[in-house]
Amino acid sequence: CHAVFQTDGLEVSASPILVDGEVRFWLALAGRPGEVTSVLAGPVVEVAERLLRLIDLAHDVRIMEERVRRGELLHDLLDEERAREVSPERLELFGVAKGPWRVALLSVGLAQDEALRLVANSAAATGTPHLLGLHHGHVALVVEGEGELLEAWTANLAAAGLPVRAALGRAVESPS
């Protein structure tokens, strides 16, 4: 489905670019009247739609890979033996650059996935460097600083109807 019109002595063929059934962009091809501009519009739109779907997929894969790497780092930090092997450079890759750090464990019953989503959104909204994941049936969180935002985050969980209890560990300057 595309529209063909004339403007400034040019023939313009305009087509919507759909991604997941929604109009994402418009593609316009212009040429001299009588050229095959409108014939080219269909194949070019198909290629553009495929390319945008591929870009979206690559973006989703990048996000999933980062979550996996963050989860592995969190797991290593919470493992008594592996924590010693975590380098400051590895922490810096995820924005956790300076101590002190604190570990918080949140008990949220069966609502772990929802709690992960809400805490991740809260931490991202405040720009707080953090690592977040599940650890032995609890939501585990490593935060920079004194953990002052943890109270607000747990209040958000409670306001969302999640039964939440939190424990905040002592401040540490380096993984051990």
Q: How confident is the model at residue 38, as a pLDDT?
A: 67
- Its pTM stands at 0.64
Q: How confident is the model at residue 61, as a pLDDT?
A: 93
State the Cα torsion 9-15-16-17 to the nearest 10°.
Answer: -110
Helix (H, G, I), strand (E, B) or coil at 112: helix
Mean pLDDT of 73-95: 86
Whether the CB-CB separation of 115 and 165 falls below 8 Å is answered with: no
Residues 6+ apart with CB under 8 A from 3: 13, 14, 15
Is the confidence at residue 172, as pLDDT, over 90?
A: no
pLDDT digits over 86-115, tens only?
888 888 888 877 778 888 899 998 888 899
Mean pLDDT of 73-92: 86
* The pairing of beta strand 165-168 with beta strand 101-107: antiparallel
Mean pLDDT of 27-45: 78
Question: Which tokens go with 111?
Answer: 């609502």
143 - beta bridge partners?
102, 130
Q: What is the mean pLDDT of the chain?
A: 84
Q: How confident is the model at residue 176, as a pLDDT?
A: 61
Q: How confident is the model at residue 58, as a pLDDT?
A: 93
Question: Which tokens go with 39?
Answer: 């014939």
pLDDT digits over 130-144, tens only?
888 888 889 998 887
